[in-house]
Amino acid sequence: MEALIIGDVQVGIVGFIPAAEGVLPPLAAAVAAARAKGVPVIYVRVALRADRAEVPARNPVATWMFEQGDLLQESSPQTAVHPAIAPQPGEPVLTKRRGSAFHGTDLDGILRARGITGVTLAGIATSGVVLATVIDAVERDYAITVLRDGCVDAETDVHEFLLDRIFPGRGARVVTAEQWIDGLG
């Protein structure tokens, strides 16, 4: 059994990365197909506490994230899952403080409790949540699929390199949302 995991497709992040709007139609189609076929859909959002509790000064990425103002502040509506792919009641929405969807969340426990052995990943950014989650999923022995058109990155060349070289090299299958939907049967 597999689950569709969508990371960091948030109101503010979609508005922050110009090409991000392009992932919404394929993701909406993938979410609808997953629901129709009984594939669990799990959302992960990145959000930081206002008190800077998880932002050490020595971590430049976390510091940069914190300095983006309400874009990534936990209480901000900017951190909500984008309405084009909004969760339905009963679909988990996990909050993370770092790159991987597994880090500091109960994602692994949710997957194992449901008998899920494979994950299909999508999100913003390819070099952020998707890369970190692929690496974590490999270490946890999940079968991995990445939705090519369900990911975007501010750096197109990095995005393509990850999809064409790094993810397949880690055992991930990289397909379009349409190919994934067709494979659902």
| Domain positions in the chain | 2-183
Instruction: For residue 144, count CB atoms less than 10 angstroms from its CB and return exposed for 0-12, middle for 13-18, buried for 19 or more.
Output: buried
pLDDT tens figures, 123-171: 999 999 999 999 999 999 999 999 999 999 999 999 999 999 999 999 9
pLDDT of residue 138: 97
Beta-strand pair 41-46/93-96: parallel
pTM of the model: 0.92
pLDDT, average across residues 115-128: 97
Q: Enumerate the β-bridge partners of residue 6.
A: 43, 122
Q: What was the pLDDT predicted at 62? A: 67
* Distance, CA of 74 to CA of 112 (rounded, Å): 27
pLDDT in tens, 67-89: 777 767 778 888 999 999 999 99
Average pLDDT, the chain: 92
Reported as a single tens digit per residue, the pLDDT across 29-73 is: 999 999 999 999 999 998 877 776 777 678 776 666 667 777 677
**Residue 61's Cα: distance from chain center in Å?**
17
CATH code for the part of the protein at 2-183: 3.40.50.850
For residue 84, the tally of other CB atoms under 10 A from its CB is 15
